[in-house]
Amino acid sequence: MTAPHLVVRGTVVTPGKVLTDGAVVVENGRISEVLEGRAAVEAASRARITQGGPDRLILPGAVDAHVHAFSDPGETFVGATSAAATGGVTTIIDMPYDAGAPVNTADLVLAKRERLAAEAVVDVALHGTVRPRDGVRDIKGMVDAGVCGFKVSLFETDPFRFPRIASDELLDAFAVLRERGVRIGVHAEDGEIIGALVKAAIADGRTAPIDHVRSRPPVSETASVALGLELAAAAGVKFHIFHASLPETVGLVRGHQGQDFTLETCPHYLVLTEDDMERLGAKGKINPPLRTAAHAAGMWQALADGRVEMVTSDHAPWPLTKKSAPVIFDNSSGAPGVQTLLPIVLGAGYFGGRIPLLTAARVLATNPAKAFGLDHRKGSIVSGLDADLVIVDPAARTVVDDTRMYSTATWSPYSGMEFQGRIDEVLVRGTTVFSQAGGLLARPGDGQFVSGVR
């Protein structure tokens, strides 16, 4: 019998079962077998290399479906994927809202693929977007170029980089994407409600951090979500709600039974609240905004009972120079988070007693890979898939430290927070890209492009 090249031992989290005495056998970068009990021990005894151990958790590498690697030009794939590797995210799906050049044509998709081939540390899939007025004509070309999903906005952040797409154009886009079987998601906020409230706040001198929250009340999210859902239901398209912050949003989505609708939330809506705005200042300025503690508890419950499919980071690597204006509305919105995604969901979620271990693996890896057509390679510890694995020491703890952030942003809204569990090693396609002993081991160019499959 041939000796396995690599065996990773521990409590292995497979899609349907936690194997308390398990082993993952890796050959040529893929998972060849998943074993438990005596078979796991025997395979480890014959392996040329073993990693992990009986006291470790073995999770599928996280698939972060919401990363903005190019919202700030200083980050690039190097910064975002280095942060991903150290945080147990083995595949990012990069957003199309790049500074100066939103990815809305096939040529731009192909150019971005060339760039990731030189820069990416972990594997990368791509979202595309649709420009206003004539952008629908470019959708098929982007799908052929390998994008795994699309994102459009119902809120106009910037008329060029992040424009609002009108309802009639959305219906046209939905028709093409339904035909091609590709999921499209929306940034759902109502610009008319928010614009009026921001204008009034500035006129009244209400420009403190908490005023950002007050300018984006729950109805500004739910009204826009309802519009997107109705349009998507009429078109019969695969549909996604990005960065949901409210249990009411979950209820709206789940009310559309029989539709292929998914939604995500983010760690900042789970472990931060509007009460943190005074402490965080502009670092806490995120769209949609931080909500109440009751909203956060409701989102945890929605994760626990399966009504929210995934947790993503919405990684936005703004430098501190764009988070330092005294008027809250003059600061960029968003925060870095790809490095802390898995430690927070695992630590505050599973170890915190809020969600089961199987659920943690599903919302971090299995479900986002499935939703965006990457599950032919990613998202689960299953024979035949890429050997993307995270080895966790459950007895150790993670303390978020700004000085250890790999994003060029060099800060975290979770700085100083402590979570049970610590990542020991991260493997991408069977190769260790990070370890506690060696730090970041992968280099730019080690990552691969992952195309969506219809």
Structural domain for 391, as ranges: 6-59+385-440
pLDDT the model gives residue 156: 79
Q: Are residues 223 and 188 in the same domain?
A: yes
Asked if the structure places residue 376 within a domain, the reply is no
pLDDT the model gives residue 158: 77
Nearest to 126 by CA among 104, 146, 99: 146
What is the helix (H) or strand (E) element at residue 294, kind and residue range?
helix 293-304
pLDDT the model gives residue 1: 46
Q: Which residues of 138-172 are buried (b: 16+ CB within 10 A; e: fewer)?
A: bbeebbebbbbbbbbbbbebeeeebbbbeeebbeb
366 DSSP 8-state letter:
I
Distance CA 228, CA 170 (A): 9
Q: Which two tokens stand for residue 415?
A: 């700085």
pLDDT the model gives residue 132: 93
Work out the end-to-end distance of the chain between its first and last CA atoms, rounded to an integer number of angstroms.
38
Q: Are residues 175 and 48 in the same domain?
A: no
pLDDT tier, 4 (very low <50, low <70, confident <90, very high otherwise): confident
320-343 residue pLDDT tens: 999 999 999 999 999 999 999 999
Across all residues in the chain, what is the average pLDDT? 96
Secondary structure (3-state) at 334: coil
Distance CA 34, CA 12 (A): 8
| Placement of tokens 């769209």 in the chain | 287
379-388 residue pLDDT tens: 999 999 999 9
pLDDT the model gives residue 208: 98
Last residue of a domain, one of 318, 343, 371: 371
260-281 residue pLDDT tens: 999 999 999 999 999 999 999 9
**Alpha helices (H) along 72-187:** 76-86, 106-119, 139-144, 167-180
Measure the CA angle with vertex 237, ends 232 and 242; round to 5°: 65
Q: Are residues 186 and 207 in the same domain?
A: yes
Provide mean pLDDT across the span 78-91.
Answer: 98
Distance CA 71, CA 99 (A): 5
Which residues, 6 or more positions from 110, have their beta carbon under 8 angstroms from its beta carbon? 145
| Placement of tokens 């949609």 in the chain | 288
347-379 residue pLDDT tens: 999 999 999 999 999 999 999 999 999 999 999
Last residue of a domain, one of 371, 397, 425: 371
Provide mean pLDDT across the span 216-229.
Answer: 98
Secondary structure (3-state) at 6: strand
Asked if the structure places residue 379 within a domain, the reply is no
Which residues, 6 or more positions from 174, have their beta carbon under 8 angstroms from its beta carbon? 184, 231, 232, 235, 237
Amino acid symbol at 89: V
Q: Are residues 221 and 157 in the same domain?
A: yes
pLDDT the model gives residue 162: 75
pLDDT of residue 2 exceeding 90: no
Distance CA 178, CA 183 (A): 8
420-437 residue pLDDT tens: 999 999 999 999 999 999
Residues of the chain above pLDDT 70, percent: 99
Q: Are residues 330 and 266 in the same domain?
A: yes
CATH of the domain at 399: 2.30.40.10
| Placement of tokens 């700085």 in the chain | 415
Which residues, 6 or more positions from 179, have their beta carbon under 8 angstroms from its beta carbon? none
Asked if the structure places residue 445 within a domain, the reply is no
Q: Which two tokens stand for residue 260?
A: 């292929």
pLDDT of residue 140 exceeding 80: yes
Distance CA 4, CA 36 (A): 15
Task: Determine which of 46-55, 213-222, 292-301, 347-356 has the lowest per-residue pLDDT on average.
Answer: 46-55
Q: Are residues 32 and 103 in the same domain?
A: no
Distance CA 22, CA 1 (A): 20
pLDDT the model gives residue 315: 98
**How many Cβ atoms from other residues are within 10 Å of residue 271's Cβ?**
21
pLDDT of residue 250 exceeding 90: yes
**How many Cβ atoms from other residues are within 10 Å of residue 3's Cβ?**
11
Provide mean pLDDT across the span 107-128.
Answer: 98
Phi then psi dihedrals of residue 140, to 5 deg: -60, -40
CATH of the domain at 358: 3.20.20.140
Last residue of a domain, one of 319, 345, 371: 371
Q: Are residues 319 and 171 in the same domain?
A: yes
Pairing of strands 310-311, 6-13: unpaired
Q: Are residues 312 and 324 in the same domain?
A: yes
Q: Which residues of 313-349 are buried (b: 16+ CB within 10 A; e: fewer)?
A: bbbbbbbeebbeeeebbebbbbbbbbbbbbbbbbbbb
Pairing of strands 30-36, 18-27: antiparallel
Amino acid symbol at 87: G
Name the domain count of the chain: 2
Q: Are residues 252 and 308 in the same domain?
A: yes
pLDDT the model gives residue 342: 98
